[in-house]
Amino acid sequence: MSTWNMESAIVPVTGAASGIGLAVCERLRATGATPLLLDWDEQKLHVATKQVYKDSDESSRFCYLVDVRDSRAVDECFVSIARTHGPATHAVAAAGIVQPADILSLTDESWQQVIDVNLNGAMYFCRAAARHMAEAKRGSIVNIASIGGLSARESRVSYVASKAAMINMTRAMAIDLGGFGVRVNAVAPGVIDTPIQNRNRGTFQNITERVALKRIGTPNEVANVTLFLLSELASYVTGSTIVVDGGMTASYR
């Protein structure tokens, strides 16, 4: 099998109904893999699955309605995936939310919601995937983190905390799973043109001035790096975080 040929890959992807998660699924599908779309928005999930599997009359076989905050539901989802498609060989944790608030206005509820999705949900998903992969003695997991996990900005206390934890969790999982032949890496996107970013577009009017490439990134550009980490091209890469931000964090301004 060539390094880019992923025809035998079974790849669950969370947050797959839109944005980076959807782009990852489309990119995987183009390489011959079987991306499985996981999300908690049923309507968007079915639309996205039909978009990825345009040539299939049974697109519903490739999507799973699941709330990553529910560890039991995540575990059951992987059992269902194994029953229908075979055990997962790769996995991408792309689900994430943002609830802007500074430390003075941050509520317990808002903090918990972000941590539950961005960190706990990612852990539940990765743990379930890792158990299948460790048994098979192979696999690759990619967590979609953020440059917010490497630095901070105003009114993002919960978000940057969750993404920083995700990056270090990625390192720890890579150490735990390396002996099983399972790789774990992260991608840290900068400002990417996604539905979440669109809701906050007014706060990013001058963002391109801070980016070396003078433009906002696209979900496909993040998906390309994710595919690299999933593939055998990255066979000796684990515990790493690749920044995809157009050079935004290269400057100390």
Pairing between strand 90-93 and 241-244? unpaired
187 DSSP β-pair partners: 144, 242
Half-sphere exposure of 69 (CA within 13 A, CB side): 10
Q: How many helices (H) and strands (E) does the chain have?
A: 8, 7
Residue type, 122: A
Structure tokens that stand for 124 in this block: 């539940």
Hey, what amino acid is at 100? P
Could you tell me the CA-to-CA distances from 172 to 117, 123, 153, 176, 185 in Å, in that order? 19, 11, 25, 6, 10
Residue positions annotated with a catalytic role:
159
Q: Which DSSP category does 234 fall into?
A: G
DSSP string, 69-121: T-HHHHHHHHHHHHHHH-S-SEEEE-------B-TTT--HHHHHHHHIIIIII
Give SS3 for 39. strand
